Amino acid sequence: MAPGPTGAASPGVSSGHLVFISAQLPLDLQGEPAGATAAEQAAQAFENLAHQLRSTGLSLEDVVSLEIHLVDEADRAAVDDAIEARFIPPYPALTLSGVPWLPGGARLQVAAIAQRY
């Protein structure tokens, strides 16, 4: 089980063949950031994303687009490594943005669009 999104948002919404997954913070089941490093947090955020996808009958293999917000540009390499560890080529399209802060002191958050085939 993964924590749901904060605020007034659905964990995911289906529209036709597409499933839009709300941004996943790197929170563990207790709602705490999972680790201090970007690598640890990216691994948890992708695990939370995978959980949300499973709840719709999909998996990370169905992701066609990722949107990742980073607090620190220096974490880019750790995020790239996490993507390479969880996805197979061709990798999903990627939008990467820098943000000044994220809830709970998270270093990153990950949202996705997946497609039903």
DSSP secondary structure string for all residues of 66-101? EEEEES-GGGHHHHHHHHHHH--SSPPEEEEEE-S-
Q: Answer whether residue 53 is part of any domain.
A: yes
Give the three-state DSSP class for 65: strand
Give me the pLDDT at residue 70, please. Answer: 98
Give me the pLDDT at residue 6, please. Answer: 61
Domains held by the chain: number: 1
Whether residue 7 has pLDDT greater than 80: no
Q: Answer whether residue 2 is part of any domain.
A: no
Q: The CATH number of the domain where 58 resides is what?
A: 3.30.1330.40
Q: Answer whether residue 97 is part of any domain.
A: yes
Q: Answer whether residue 96 is part of any domain.
A: yes
Q: Answer whether residue 3 is part of any domain.
A: no
Residue 19, domain extent: 12-115
pLDDT band at 29; cut points 50, 70, 90 = confident
Gyration radius of the chain's alpha carbons: 13
Q: Answer whether residue 6 is part of any domain.
A: no
Give me the pLDDT at residue 23, please. Answer: 94
Query: Taking all residues of the chain, what is their mean pLDDT, rounded to a whole number?
Result: 92
Residue 110 makes CB contacts below 8 A (sequence gap 6+) with: 23, 24, 42, 45, 46, 48, 49, 66, 67, 68
Give me the pLDDT at residue 30, please. Answer: 86
Q: Answer whether residue 86 is part of any domain.
A: yes
Q: Answer whether residue 89 is part of any domain.
A: yes
Give me the pLDDT at residue 1, please. Answer: 58
Q: What is the pTM of this model?
A: 0.91
Q: What is the mean pLDDT of residues 47-74?
A: 96
